[in-house]
Chains A and B, each alone.
Chain A
Amino acid sequence: MIKLEFKNVSYRHDNREVLHNLSVQFAAGDYVSIVGSSGSGKSTFLRLCCHLISPSEGNIFLNGQDMLLQNPIELRKKVSYCFQEPILWGTTVEDNVTFPYQIRNQKLDISKVTSLLSDFHMTPDYLHHEIQNLSGGEKQRIALIRTMLFEPEILLLDEVTSALDAENTELVEKAILNLNQQGITILWVTHNDEQSRKYANKLLTIEDGQIQSLEVIK
Chain B
Amino acid sequence: MKGANISNTSLLLASSLVLVSLLFSYFQKLKLEKETIISVIRAVVQLFVVGYILQFIFGLHNPVVTTLIILAMTFNASYNAAKRGKEIKNGIWISFISIFVGSGITLTVLILSGAIKYEAYQMIPISGMLISNAMIAIGLCYRQLAANFKSRRNEVEVKLSLGADIHMSSIGILRDSIRTGMLPTIDSTKTLGIVSLPGMMTGLILAGTSPVMAIRYQIMVTFMMLSTTAISSFMACFLSYRGFFNDRKQLI
Residues of A within 8 A of B (CB): 50-54, 68, 72-74, 76-77, 80-81, 83, 85, 87, 89, 99-100, 102-104, 143, 146-147, 150
Q: Give the chain B neighbours of A85 by CB distance below 8 A.
A: 154
Q: Give the chain A neighbours of B251 by CB distance below 8 A.
A: 52
Q: A100 to B248, Cβ gap below 8 A?
A: no
User: How far does the alpha carbon of A76 sit from the alpha carbon of B155 in the complex, in Å?
Assistant: 15
User: How far does the alpha carbon of A68 sit from the alpha carbon of B248 in the complex, in Å?
Assistant: 8
Closest to B155 in A: A87
Cβ-defined partner of A53 (8 Å) among B158, B159, B165, B250: B250
Q: B248 to A99, Cβ gap below 8 A?
A: no
Cβ-defined partner of B248 (8 Å) among A51, A81, A83, A102: A51
Q: A81 to B161, Cβ gap below 8 A?
A: yes
Q: A73 to B249, Cβ gap below 8 A?
A: yes
A-B contact pairs, 10 of them (CB 8 A): A52-B157, A72-B250, A73-B249, A74-B163, A81-B158, A83-B157, A89-B155, A89-B172, A99-B164, A102-B168
Q: Give the chain B neighbours of A76 by CB distance below 8 A.
A: 160-163
Q: Give the chain A neighbours of B250 by CB distance below 8 A.
A: 51-54, 72
Interface centre among B155, B161, B164 (most CB of A within 10 A): B161
Q: B160 to A52, Cβ gap below 8 A?
A: yes
User: How far does the alpha carbon of A54 sit from the alpha carbon of B246 in the complex, in Å?
Assistant: 11
Do A103 and B155 contact each other (CB < 8 Å), given the known contacts A72-B250, A81-B161?
no
User: How far does the alpha carbon of A83 sit from the alpha carbon of B162 in the complex, in Å?
Assistant: 11
User: How far does the alpha carbon of A54 sit from the alpha carbon of B70 in the complex, in Å?
Assistant: 45
Q: A99 to B157, Cβ gap below 8 A?
A: no
User: How far does the alpha carbon of A77 sit from the alpha carbon of B159 in the complex, in Å?
Assistant: 11
Q: B162 to A73, Cβ gap below 8 A?
A: no
Do A54 and B161 contact each other (CB < 8 Å), given the known contacts A87-B154, A89-B172?
no
Q: A77 to B163, Cβ gap below 8 A?
A: yes
Q: B162 to A147, Cβ gap below 8 A?
A: yes
Closest to A46 in B: B161
Instruction: Name the distance in Å between A113's Cβ and chain B's nearest Cβ.
Output: 15
Q: A87 to B161, Cβ gap below 8 A?
A: no
Do A83 and B154 contact each other (CB < 8 Å), given the known contacts A53-B250, A102-B168?
yes
Closest to B157 in A: A52
User: How far does the alpha carbon of A99 sit from the alpha carbon of B164 in the complex, in Å?
Assistant: 9
Tell me the chain B residues, 11-63 only, with Cβ under 8 Å from chain A. Answer: none
Instruction: Name the distance in Å between B60's Cβ and chain A's nearest Cβ.
Output: 55
Q: B158 to A83, Cβ gap below 8 A?
A: yes
* Smallest CB-CB A-B distances: 7 pairs: A77-B163, A81-B161, A72-B249, A103-B164, A76-B163, A87-B158, A87-B154
User: How far does the alpha carbon of A58 sit from the alpha carbon of B243 in the complex, in Å?
Assistant: 26
Tell me the chain B residues, 146-160 only, with Cβ under 8 Å from chain A. Answer: 154-155, 157-160
Interface centre among B155, B160, B168 (most CB of A within 10 A): B160
User: How far does the alpha carbon of A53 sit from the alpha carbon of B245 in the complex, in Å?
Assistant: 11
Q: A103 to B158, Cβ gap below 8 A?
A: no
Instruction: Name the distance in Å between B48's Cβ and chain A's nearest Cβ.
Output: 51
User: How far does the alpha carbon of A50 sit from the alpha carbon of B163 in the complex, in Å?
Assistant: 10
Q: Give the chain A neighbours of B164 by CB distance below 8 A.
A: 73, 99, 103
Cβ-defined partner of A103 (8 Å) among B157, B168, B249: B168
Instruction: Name the distance in Å between B223's Cβ and chain A's nearest Cβ.
Output: 33
Closest to A99 in B: B162
Q: A80 to B162, Cβ gap below 8 A?
A: yes
User: How far does the alpha carbon of A74 sit from the alpha carbon of B164 in the complex, in Å?
Assistant: 9
Closest to B158 in A: A87
Do A54 and B155 contact each other (CB < 8 Å), given the known contacts A80-B161, A80-B162?
no
User: How far does the alpha carbon of A77 sit from the alpha carbon of B161 in the complex, in Å?
Assistant: 7
Instruction: Name the distance in Å between A52's Cβ and chain B's nearest Cβ.
Output: 6
Q: B154 to A103, Cβ gap below 8 A?
A: no
Cβ-defined partner of A99 (8 Å) among B154, B159, B165, B249: B159
